[in-house]
Amino acid sequence: MILKVFPLGPFEANCYIIGDEETKKGLIIDPSGKPDFILETIKELGLSIDLIILTHGHGDHFTGAYKVKDELGIPLYVHKEDVDLVEWETKELIPILKNMTLVKVDGCIKEGDIINIGNLKLEIIETPGHTMGGVCIKIGNKVFTGDSIFLRSIGRTDLGRASAELLISSLKEKILTLSEDTILYPGHGPSTTVKDEKELNPFLK
C-alpha cells in the first residue's frame, strides 16, 4: 500500500493519500488544506484517485476538497448524519478562505460498506460521538480514525451534536476489539495502535 500523511491547514489535520501499488488506484481521506500541494503529490506518486472520503464533517478536514474534487472530477463521500454539517461548515469557511467554493457531497457511507479501490478493500466503521456522522475507514490492519481517537486521547464532544458516552462506547465496541497490532491513523497527530490505546488511553479505561 502507498500511504502518505500530511498535516495540512491551520489546524494541521492529517490528510491521507492512499494507493494500491499494483494498479495505482487511490483515494484521499480528509483533504484538509493546500489543494495544489495535494494535486502535485498525487501526480508525483503516479496515482489515479477514485474518490474522497471524509471521516466527519468538520471543516478543518476538508478545506482542500473543493479544488481537488473539481480538478480530478471525483466524488466525495461522508456519512449521511454529517451531510448538513459539511454544508454549514463550508458556508462558514468561504468568507475566510480565499478561493474556496461550496463542497458538494456526492454519496453517503454507512456501517459495513465495502469499497474496493484497485486491490484495496475499504471497510466503513461508524464511530459517532465527536460528530453524529463520524466514521473510521479500515484497510487491512490500518484504521483511519478521523477525530474519534488520537494518541492517548479521544475527540472533543463539546461541539454541536456530540456525545462523549456515544463516542466512548463506539470506540470500546468497534475499535478496541480489533486486533491489537492494528495501526490507528488519527485526524491529528501521530499514529498509535489498538494495543497501546487499550492499555494507555485514560479516556477508555
CB 110 within 8 A of CB 124: yes
Helix (H) or strand (E) holding 91: helix 83-93
Q: What is the pTM of this model?
A: 0.95
**What pLDDT digit, counting tens, does each position of 43-52 carry?**
999 999 999 9
Strand, coil or helix: what is 186?
Answer: strand
- Give the list of residues 6+ apart from residue 203 with CB closer than 8 angstroms, or none: 153, 154, 168
Tally the domains of the chain.
1
Helix axes 65-72, 35-45, angle to 10 degrees: 40
DSSP bridge pairs for 115: 122
**What pLDDT digit, counting tens, does each position of 168-195 carry?**
999 999 999 999 999 999 999 999 999 9
Cα angle 61-44-15, degrees, rounded to a multiple of 5: 15
Model confidence at 53, pLDDT cuts 50, 70, 90, reads very high
- Domain span at residue 54 reads 2-204
Check residue 176 and give its pLDDT: 98
CATH of residue 95: 3.60.15.10
